[in-house]
Amino acid sequence: MRSYLYEYELVSPPNLAEALALMAREPGAWKPFAGGTDLMVLLEAGKLPHKKFFSLWHLRELKGIRISPEAVTLGALTTYTEVLRHPVLQQEFPLLWRAAAETGGVATQNRGTLGGNIANASPAADSPPALLVYDAELELMSARGSRWVPYHGFHTGYKQMDLRSDELIRSLRLPRVTRSRKHYYRKVGARKAQAISKVVFAGVAELEGDVVRDIRIAVGSVAPTVLRCVRTESVLRGHKVNPATIAGAQAALAGEIAPIDDIRSTMSYRRRVSLNLLEDFLQSCLDSKR
Ligand SMILES: Cc1cc2nc3c(=O)[nH]c(=O)nc-3n(C[C@H](O)[C@H](O)[C@H](O)COP(=O)(O)OP(=O)(O)OC[C@H]3O[C@@H](n4cnc5c(N)ncnc54)[C@H](O)[C@@H]3O)c2cc1C
């Protein structure tokens, strides 16, 4: 291990109010520690910038999945395993379910949380594209109270987000939609499992015949943040899915993403795969068997 453990402090506030009070006393000094699956990798690599942590793991105020007629609300500590075991999520939010199924292995799924995946703010993270197309909202909480923000717009730049130094993510809300929708999710990595995404694509569409009534598209690993592709969506909304519209949408997507070369992939591969996945998604909308 490249870090000297005695340099670090980890405390365990007994409840959410005390955790928020700790953050309020020294804003920015204390960092939340949820499942630790991202933080422990940084610790092992000697790249953990913070020294003071407080555990969230036992805070019941951040746990649980609640279902109402309008929405599903998930505590920030919801693990991938809990997502996979929930029948309403599997049925109504299959892209989140797929993202959970394709995240790491069983050990990571048992410990890794949705709040941690969001706050770690990796542009290659697997749940954010699903959360974006399902119009998720986040509840951000501090000792001053709580505020709800749309998840779209929460990430403001590479590893930057609209989260104040005394705030943590308490929960996520997904509005329930009863209308029939087409759901599409593809994670492309070096292997079928245990891989970090080269490209991760999520799409939800409502069609009337072959006309797109509404559509949401989000792509990961192609920009400094996971990207909701609003320009591509607007090219498609109200139009028939045909070769000309698909080509127009691909041109819009090519202008909207900004992939880079890095250790996992190249700019040109990421661009090609993103455009291919968009075409596959749109073709799947016309194919009732997919
Ligand atoms: C072997 C392995 C495989 C992995 N595979 C994948 C994968 O396939 N796809 C993928 O997307 N990720 C993957 N990850 C990354 C990681 O598992 C996820 O990002 C996970 O969701 C992080 O959650 P956590 O609770 O462990 O976060 P932690 O490590 O506890 O925290 C991560 C960051 O979020 C902050 N944080 C945590 N909770 C909150 C909160 N409620 N409010 C505010 N800030 C908070 C922490 O301060 C920290 O900065 C993998 C990790 C490992 C070790």
For residue range 235-246, list pLDDT tens digits in order.
999 999 999 999
Cα 241 from Cα 282, distance rounded (Å) = 7
DSSP string for residues in 12-29:
--SSHHHHHHHHHHSTTT
This prediction has a pTM of 0.97
SS3 273: helix
Query: HSE on the CB side for 258, CA within 13 Å?
Result: 8
**Are the C-beta atoms of residues 222 and 258 closer than 8 Å to each other?**
yes
Q: Which segments within 98-198 are labelled E, that is strand?
A: 137-142, 145-150, 155-157, 160-161, 168-175, 182-188
DSSP tag of 240: B
Ligand 1 site-directed mutation target among 58, 61, 109, 120, most atoms within 8 Å of CB: 120
Atom 33, ligand 1: residue with shortest CA distance: 120
Token output for 286: 């016309």
Asked whether 203 lines ligand 1 (CB < 6 A), one says no
Ligand 1 atom at shortest distance from the alpha carbon of 119: 34
Ligand 1 atom with minimal separation from the 125 CA: 11
Task: For 41-96, write each residue's pLDDT tens digit.
Answer: 999 999 998 999 999 999 999 999 999 999 999 999 999 999 999 999 999 999 99
Provide, rounded to the nearest whole percent, the portion of the chain with pLDDT above 90.
92
